[in-house]
Amino acid sequence: MRDNVTEESNMQSEHTGNVEHPQEQAGGMTKAEISRRWLLMKIGIAFNGIVGLALAVPIVGYIVSPMKKDAKYKSWVSLGGIEKYPVGTTRLATYVNPWQSPTDGQTDDIACWVRRTGQQQFTVFAINCAHLGCPVRWFPQSKLFMCPCHGGVYYADGSVAAGPPERGLFKYKHQIVNGELKIFAGQMPTLSNTAKLVTTIGPCKGDSPCAG
């Protein structure tokens, strides 16, 4: 045991450059004492490591806390009675985002496009262009959605008509409860959470699968 300690302290003195200070050795310090110093240093480092970990775990937890599963952010939101949306029209609807914080201000007011094609037939499109998220506008005269940013154009059913989007407009899940139109919303629709990229960009006319 004693031998082991000596050997270890020898190694340490080599590693840490103690040999450069012969006066310390000459001052009567035994190898055992040096070893004790380094043991304390090691204990110090280990202690720091533990405290650091105790600090890091809550910090990391705090920073990554917004990274939740999509469903956790979403809930059913009412867009009002279905009578607000006459059959055969596409209208802008707004709702207050169900996920809020006290400093959101007006950013909680979210818009979407509601298209009603029959008594019970609705499609609710996100306002965000499927290319880079700018707000698309509906033109009832030409029955097209147009995006002001990069010229993405969509047909009335949300499928791509022209421009750079790789898929049709994002659609919200919706249901009609007691004459009210409800959508499943709460999160900004992006390519990663709503319907992924559509790989086949073929002819996107009508309600083809590539409309997303």
Partner 1 sequence: MRGLKEAKKVYDWLEMRVGFEKPVKEAALHPVPKNTASWWYVFGSAAFTLLMLQVFTGILLALVYVPSAGQAWQSLNFLNHNLTMGWFIRAVHGWGSNFMVAIVLIHMAQVFLFGAYKYPRELTWMVGVLLLLLTLGMAFTGQVMRFDQDAYWGLGIGAMITSRLPFIGGQLVHLLLGGPIIGGATLSHFFALHVFVIPAALLGLAGLHVWMVLRLGINEWPMPGRAVKRETYVEEYHKLTHEDGVPFVPVALWKDIVFSSGIILAVLVCAAIFGPQGPTGVPNPTYIHTDPKPDFFFLWIYTSLAFLPPWMETPLLIIGPPIVILGLLGFPLLASEGEKSWYRRPVAVLVVMILAVAWGALTDLGTYTPWSPHMDAWSADIIAPKQVKALSPLERQGAIVFQDKQCRNCHQVDGHGGMRGPALDDVATTMTYDQLIRQVLQGGGNMPAYGKNLSPAEVDALVDYLETLHKAGQKPAVDEANQWTDQAAKAAPAPPVPLVGTAGNAMTEQQLQAQTQMSVPMQAPQKAQVATAAKAKAQHPAAMKMAPGA
**Rounded Cα gap, residues 189 and 7, in angstroms:** 64
Note the residues at the interface with partner 1 (CB under 8 A). Answer: 63-64, 66-68, 70, 73-74, 92, 94, 97, 99-111, 127-128, 131-137, 139, 141-144, 146-151, 153, 155-156, 161-166, 186-188, 190-193, 197, 201, 203, 205-206
- 12 residue type, one letter: Q
* Residue labelled with tokens 């700018």: 134
Tell me the residue ranges of DSSP E strands in the chain: 75-81, 90-96, 109-116, 122-126, 137-139, 144-146, 153-155, 160-162, 171-177, 180-185
We find the least distance from the C-beta atom of residue 94 to partner 1, in angstroms, to be: 5
We find the least distance from the C-beta atom of residue 133 to partner 1, in angstroms, to be: 4
Closest CB to partner 1 among residues 39, 191? 191
Closest CB to partner 1 among residues 39, 153? 153
We find the least distance from the C-beta atom of residue 122 to partner 1, in angstroms, to be: 19
Distances (CA, A) of 90 to 46, 124, 149, 156, 157: 65, 9, 21, 8, 10
Closest CB to partner 1 among residues 34, 210? 210
Say if residues 9 and 35 touch (Cβ distance below 8 Å): yes
Closest CB to partner 1 among residues 21, 68? 68
We find the least distance from the C-beta atom of residue 21 to partner 1, in angstroms, to be: 25
We find the least distance from the C-beta atom of residue 55 to partner 1, in angstroms, to be: 18
* Residue labelled with tokens 């409860």: 177
Count of helices and strands (H, E) across the chain: 4, 10
Closest CB to partner 1 among residues 80, 164? 164
